Each structure stands twice: as C-alpha cells, then as structure tokens.
Structure 1
C-alpha cells in the first residue's frame, strides 16, 4: 500500500512567538527542560534577563549535576557579530560552563568561532550553537517544535575520551550508562541523561534545587536518594522538615527505613535508601553490578512514586 508523504515546511519563530525577548525567551525560561532533554543534561533555576554588569543575558541557569552556570543568548533571524559579542561577554561575566547561542540561522564564520572555542577556549567551557525550529507538515496549520544542534563540544557524546579517564571514572561512567538505559526502559517518558565520570547521577524532582539521584558513598554503599539544596537555605530546611514530619507514612509506604540526613556543612539535606556494598565499584563483579542496577531501578521507581506527589504539594504552597 502506498502512503501519501508530505513535505515538511519550516516557519519563522515569529509565527509562534512574535517577540524574541518578551515571548520566546520567556517561553524558553519556563520550558527549559525541553532544551535540557535535547542535550541530555539537567538545567534548573532558569532566570530571564539576568544582569551581567551593565547588560542583561537572555537566560542564566545552572546545570544540576555539575553546578556549572548556563548562559543562553537567543536571536531571531541570522547570527551577527553583535550577538556574538554579547554571548562572549555574558559567558565571561558569569564564568559559564555551558554557553548556548540559539538562532534561526548560523553564519559559517560564527559556527567556526564556536568550534574554535570548543577546541582552544577556556578549559571545561562548552559552547553550543542550536537552531530552534518551527515546522508543519504539508498544508497543516498545526505547528511542531524541535531543537537542531549545529555545534557542540568535541567528544560531547562521551564528555572526555575514555583514554583520559582513570579506572574509577570509567567504572562510574559505564555503570551509570547502564543505569540510564535500564531506567528509561522502566519509565519510557523519562529522558536519558549523559552520565559523566562521577560517583553520582541526579535528575530534577520537580522543584528547583531538589533532585533525585543514585550515588556511591563511603562505607562503601550505593543509595537512591532525594537531595535538597535550593538557593534559599530556609526553603531547603522547610522542604526537609515538611517531609520529615511524614517520615512514618513515607517509610511505611516504601516498606523500608530511610536515612534522614541534615548536612549542615553543605547547607543541604538528604533522604536516602542505602544498600551496603562488598567493595568499591572497581571491585564489584559483573553480577554484583547487574544486581545494583536492578535494585537501583526498582528503588528509584518507588522513590519517585512516593515523593513526587508530596513535593508537588509543597511546591504549590
């Protein structure tokens, strides 16, 4: 059977968001998780028109897993030198770990600048060129939206080459890569993150500064946890105390005892379900790693089911 195939039509961003600053930037700030999902990272605490000296960056945010600053410069139409200058000024002023230029069309010379910065720029700084696209099929009036990555850091898919990682770092990356794959099968709508060579992997719990995570700790132990560290210390304490008052109900529902940890040295707190280990991650057998992944998927699934409604209620207070 032959099916009709229609052409995809591309539309200006103005066909949906009339004004770049007032409409598109505001929409992206409120929907920053869509951009984060495309890149496989976690972005939180997005703020529009953030002051940088005498100027204002379109969006400044934070990457949750690394704590690095994210600077985003939006531009309608084709890129120009003026916006490039702004982008570099804001990135420098905020000491950004992630710098993102969103535009409808990138001049070749501007693409080359970002590629050059990824090659020779400040150590650890990552530069992206991203096209936000509005599309429709055939003559349809419905609009679709997507991001097209035009420039990204070298080795972004792997973050750094495995050859430069220690055995411990490679073990963390391999473990969490398998964990991400397993958890995305359990929850198909959960978007995949890009694991780094770190002892933990976290993702948003629905409130800025509050995140779910898998982590290896001294002991040794592996835990599923809720980590609370908002930009407001009092707010963090309020969230922890509100959940602590429901400790009996939470633990009864989960069927386990949790560790409720205040971390005054970090001005944060943590609620975790630990699993003791026989050794560090580099000492675990393949069977032990497989068991931990299965355990981590089950425990995190239960954690999300239990804590998300409670956090949602707190977020609406």
Structure 2
C-alpha cells in the first residue's frame, strides 16, 4: 500500500485574506469546527456588530447558547485576546472560540485561566492547511486549550478561597476596631486575609494571636522561636505550664495547653465554638466581643509569668 506524505501549506496560499476568505469559508464550513471541538454550532452569522467592533462569527450551540468565533491567521496576540473577551461580554455569549495560526504559550495559559475564572467556555484552536501528494489543501484544526470539568472545579475552589479571604479581612477589620476601646494590644495591626493575626507579647517568640475559622474563634499565646528552636519552645512552654493553676485562676477558666508533640511550636489557648466568620453578620459583634474579652483575660493572666521566664528576650 502506498502511503502519501503529509505536507503543510502556508495559510495565506489557501486563504489570502482573513476576513473575506477564511471567515467566509468557515461560515459555510462550520462542521469543520464542530468536528474538531465536538460541538454542534448552528445559525452562524458573519461580521456581527458589537459596538464599534465587528465579530468574525456568531452562532449558537445545540442548547441555544450564543457563542462567538474570532479568527487570526497569525500568531496569537494581546489585541485579539482582548477582542475575544470584549465580544463575549458585548454579546452576552456563553462560549468563545479563538482560531489562530500559532498559539503563544502565554495566550494558551490565559485561555486556561479564563476557563477557571469565568462562567463561560473558552477554546483556543490551531489552524493549519495540509495536503498529500499534490492534493487540494485541506484544513486541520487542533484543539490547544478548552473547558473541562476539572478546570471549572479549580475555578470554583479559587472563588471560594477568594471569598474566604475577603470575609476574614472584614472580620479582622471589625474586630480590631471593636477592640480599641478595650485594649491597645492589637490596635496597630493591619487587617489581613489569613486565619490569624497577632502581636508580640514582649518576649521573643511568644505571640498573642487571634484566629478565626468558619464556626469557631480562638485567643492564644503561640510559642515559636523559629527553625531549630524546638527545645527552647518546649522549655518556655514547660515553665508556663508549671504555673497552670495560677494562670487558669487568673484567666477565670480552663485553657488548652498544647505542647504540640512532634511539632516545633507550642500553644496555650481558649477556643470559642459558638460561631465564626461564617456566622450571620448580626452575630459578629457579640462573637468578636467575647473573643476580645478572652484575649484581654489571657494576656492579663499570662503577663506576670511571661515576665519571669528564663531565656533570652
């Protein structure tokens, strides 16, 4: 059996003009895109207006979702990426297909990010022209990047994390303001996005931290002098724990004493389990007040014994 050799043909030899030739051809041969992307694009119209711009192709998929196609018989560039997003927004489309001669890696990555970040499907397709043994040129479309369930799940997870950071920042902003009339201990902290904020107790490696989770919040003394200081941390913790009855009496209740076996740091804490940053907004003031009160009592109970600690300050 004779086997022909596949040859690539310069795109401009097949379609001299991007709009008049390639886009017009694609409008009449949309099945080529359907086969490459496993879609069912129908009702395709060419050169649809989007404000002052003109979209190469606008169509619908089998479920009636509007989609746009932007063609580029050159290397992908920022200008066409911007157009793709602009046209998608202007047409309120649910999918965008970018057909290019040479996809740049940064634009492939951008399409991947868009599939994670937005509630729309983005495709990047490489177009080539090929022939065998002098046959007429034929189109070859290859999917380079497209939507997937995994990408959407990653996108949802990122949105949830972003939302979590924003809520925690608001929690710390409110808590710091509420604490100022009662204690100056954390008054000069900048609200952050993470699950904890803290200040030094005045003794190196001993920090008074607030932490908050979805359904709980904590006031704690966190003991950590850094890498290689496990023995120092444990010695400081043991000195404080030797005064556990006096400290808990001054605090007004039991505390959690965690030597954190196998870990570098140690912790003395009070955790309140009746709510956290996922609690309704109207509960936040009371929840924060009780957390602030726990921190004030903890700092007051520990301070005399921290001042007696043996070790480099």
TM-score (norm 1): 0.45
TM-score (norm 2): 0.46
Q: In terms of Rg, which structure is larger?
A: 2
